[in-house]
Chains A and B, each alone.
Chain A
Amino acid sequence: MYRYDNLDRTIVTDRVAEFRDQVERRLSGTLSEDAFKPLRLMNGLYLQLHAYMLRVAIPYGSMNAMQLRQLAMIARRYDRGYGHFTTRQNLQYNWIKLADAPDILQALADVDMHAMQTSGNCMRNITADPLAGAAADEIEDPRPWCEILRQWSTLHPELSFLPRKFKMAVTASDDDRAAIRVHDVGLQLVKRAGAFGFRVFIGGGQGRTPYLAPEIKPFVPAEDILSYLHAVMRVYNAYGRRDNIYKARIKILVAAMGEAAFAKEVEQTWSRLDRSALRIDQHAAQRIREAWVEPAFETLEPGEPPPGPPAYRRWLEANTASHRKHGYRIVFVSLKVPGRPPGDISAEQMEVVADLAERFGLNEVRATHEQNLVLPHVRVSDLLAVWEMLAKWQLATPNIGLASDIIACPGLDYCSLANARSIPLAQRLSQRFADRGNEREIGPLAIKISGCINACGHHHVGDIGILGVDKKDQEYYQILLAGRPGNDAALGRIMGPALDADATVAAIERIVEHYLAQRQPQESFAATLRRLGPLAFKDAIYAAA
């Protein structure tokens, strides 16, 4: 993991002092709310329906035990004792007082964290494969590159007042767990003739107008990635629309110009830049390497997990994955307790996960865009002990990738943009699957719920996507089928008219029953959908309507 050096500490310290001054000016009335709004947004502070919400950056989803403990402390002292992990690997506090915000930012700075650029029309926190550095299938840990991208894009004047927000995702695996094709820029680290470089996808996104990002450049030498991206940002900054916020994302620009014309414009801009100034030279790479703490892996023999009760064996199967090192496994910490808001975690639970990371996990924790946590490096021989502790704290629901592992945005319970509530629907659905007890039989199934068209709940890329809409002041839900993030990414198809919450829950159940009736042996939900086509499920959805 990256460890701050003096440069990082100086910058976050100065940032906290600046924000403290801005908050003081706001509280004394020198600064109007209008003038203050963009300043607080740049520090991750939103005004929600009931209170301020603070979004803390967890760069590329990586943190250590000390940081997670500090997040617990903040939840306890400044919020209501819990936090919420988002679909962008960040943590949100929902009940913040403005006057406390500078102290919270200081508490974050104390453990090398910040909330910069988690909102506003700027380069947002960069997301990455949550299994980076642990997955057996990656070519190299992409996080040192992510850290370079983070530093380059932090408090960069040219990247801070863009036409609209800008999200980047990075993976180093052919099995894309970072959903790079639904981001403004998606990067895949690849190796060609012994040299590292990036495949660059530009112009994907969800929201009102979903697009899968086309591949704009198949290989940019890794050391030149900053100058290439700088060219991309200059083209976007110059030509991105500023007259209509719904048309301001880079995906609209790429679609309007056409991939080829956009790529050519970027090349032209790139050719005029002084690439050497932005080249990731030995010096820059050295600075990151020196600050990077590699986990202290032991040399272990491959081995079997210790024996244990059936619930533990069930958890082993559902919530752990193979590791690139012999004798280790990746452990998923489920934040999807049936009937509870997806992604919520109490201060006590954060401390439990922090303790486990320290004792059994080489001091690393990851946040996933599916709103769960990961202990990426657990010794196989410690799995029973880890499970026992997780189970005691309701963190071991064996449902990773299954029907009750539902992604949901905060929705109308918190968010001023939402049309409908997401969390109660997720709670009802997860409870329903838990009651039936057939999740394991159903197999992999991604249900994703957004409370409005902004698609924070990734409904476009769920096997089953659910979109909250407002129909004559009532909460209604549209159902989409057959979306996929990842390598063979696809956008879900809207199945028909929206339904109310009761009818939506019933329709989802019928979709799953129809799948179970129609599937061939070993065939997943997604594969059955592909074979039959989404329309084959339409009758099931609207059977009772």
Chain B
Amino acid sequence: MRFMPLLSHKAIVVDTYTKWNGEGPAPAGDLLVSSRTVLQRPEILAGRRIGVALANTEDALTLTPVLRKISLVVLVFPLFRDGRAYTQAAILRETGFRGEIRATGRVLIDQISFMARVGFTTFEVAENISTAEIVAALQRYRAAYQTAPGDFLPDAQGLVDVVEAAA
């Protein structure tokens, strides 16, 4: 399997979640499950962190009942031109989700600033993309016309600090 680094705005992040298909007893540790699993087996939410992988055909509002209890939502961009995950992320932020939103699939450097503006915080990118490139992409635009989910808009000053520290 190809190594896909997981990058946040500022650093390479360690992925602690294990994929689980929801059958049999839940393994220990942080789990990445489907929306069906988390809604049908809410008991797994106790004692560990739960991430949910949403297909881009699913309505993000299906997660509303568990939104305060899960830590991660993994969204997917199957193709460059399929933008449904942008709306899913925006809806998650609008409905109060404050955890990690991870972009997977075709995560291209030229889209990362768009992703950040709707609330994505981590990016599963190809291995040849560096943290520095991510930071540069996030700094590309100094302004936007739309109000973004404020807390999750990368803080330009914070990013400058990272670049300077890395230099």
Contact = CB atoms under 8 A, between A and B. Distances in A.
Contact of A38 (B61, B80, B115): B80
Nearest to B83: A161
Contact of B81 (A18, A121, A238): A121
Contacts of A155: 114, 141, 144-145
A307 B27 CA distance: 93
A100 interface: no
A242 to B, nearest CB: 6
A290 interface: no
Interface residues of B, number: 25
A157 B59 contact: no
B143 A158 contact: no
B16 interface: no
A76 interface: no
Contact of A10 (B86, B114, B118, B142): B142
A243 to B, nearest CB: 11
B162 to A, nearest CB: 19
Nearest to B140: A18
Q: In the complex, which range does the number of interface residues on chain A fall in?
A: 20 to 34
B34 interface: no
Contacts, number: 67
B140 A17 contact: yes
Contacts of B40: none
B155 interface: no
A154 interface: yes
Specify which of A17, A39, A158, A272 lies most central, judged by the most chain B CB atoms within 10 Å of its CB: A158
A238 B54 CA distance: 14
A161 B110 contact: no
B143 A157 contact: no
Contacts of A10: 142-143
B84 interface: yes
A11 B83 contact: no
Interface in B138-156: 140-147
Contact of A242 (B82, B110, B144): B82
Contacts of B161: none
Nearest to A30: B128
A393 interface: no
A225 to B, nearest CB: 15
A160 interface: yes
B117 interface: yes
B110 to A, nearest CB: 6
A474 B154 CA distance: 56
Contacts of B115: 157
A39 B137 CA distance: 14
Contacts of B142: 10, 14
B87 interface: yes
B86 A14 contact: no
Contact of A160 (B83, B140, B145): B83
Interface in B102-120: 108, 110, 114-115, 117-118
Nearest to B110: A39
A11 B143 contact: yes
Interface string B2-17: 0000000000000000
Contacts of A7: 143, 145
B117 A11 contact: no
Contacts of B45: none
A277 B150 CA distance: 12
B9 to A, nearest CB: 16
A242 B84 CA distance: 11
Given A155-B141, A238-B84, A238-B87, 8 more contacts: A38-B80, A121-B81, A155-B145, A157-B115, A157-B117, A158-B118, A161-B80, A161-B86
Interface of B: 59, 61, 80-84, 86-87, 90, 94, 108, 110, 114-115, 117-118, 140-147
13 contacts: A10-B142, A14-B141, A14-B143, A15-B141, A38-B80, A155-B114, A156-B145, A158-B86, A158-B118, A160-B114, A161-B82, A238-B84, A272-B61
Q: What 6 A-B pairs are tightest by C-beta distance, nearest first?
A: A161-B83, A157-B114, A157-B86, A151-B145, A10-B143, A14-B141
